[in-house]
């Protein structure tokens, strides 16, 4: 379950931000996850709660914002919405479609005290 290591990375980012911005508690974390990122939202929620225990983000609410997967079709050249990396182009049926968006995961915003 790679979501545990991802949650640990989120904690490191929060701790670094707390040092740089002088806050002591995190109330809410907005996490942006692309549809093509390979991150399971429910697993991420579980891991987030486990990793944050006993830290400045203990009890913080996790808000997940999903971003759409996008890709460029090599056959028709259009940018299209895709839900899986190897989906054919929904416009022309062509393959491959090169993913161009929705592969990222980032901390979008923090609500802190």
User: Against a cut of 0.75, is the pTM above it?
Assistant: yes
Q: Tokens 């991150």 identify what position?
A: 39
pLDDT at position 103: 96
pLDDT at position 13: 97
Q: What is the extent of the structural domain holding 74?
A: 3-112
pLDDT at position 28: 98
Tell me the pairing of strands 26-34 and 61-67: parallel
Q: Collapsing DSSP states into helix, strand and coil, what is residue 27?
A: strand
What residues form DSSP beta bridges with 99?
71
Using CA atoms, how far apart are residues 2 and 8, in angstroms rounded to an integer?
A: 10
The CATH code of the domain that includes 83 is: 3.30.2320.80
pLDDT at position 91: 96
Which residues of the chain, if any, have pLDDT below 70?
A: 1
Q: What is the pLDDT of residues 43-66, one digit of tens each?
A: 999 999 999 999 999 999 999 999
pLDDT at position 1: 58
Q: How many domains does the chain have?
A: 1
């Amino acid at each position: 379950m790679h979501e545990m290591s991802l949650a640990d990375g989120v904690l490191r980012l929060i701790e670094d931000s707390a040092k740089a911005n002088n806050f002591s508690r995190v109330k809410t974390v907005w996490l942006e996850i692309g549809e093509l990122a390979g991150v399971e939202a429910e697993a991420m929620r579980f891991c987030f709660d486990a990793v944050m225990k006993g830290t400045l983000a203990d009890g913080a609410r996790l808000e997940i914002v999903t971003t759409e997967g996008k890709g460029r079709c090599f056959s028709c050249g259009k940018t299209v919405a895709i839900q899986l990396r190897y989906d054919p182009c929904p416009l022309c049926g062509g393959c491959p479609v090169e993913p161009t968006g929705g592969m990222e995961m980032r901390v979008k915003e923090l609500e802190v005290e």
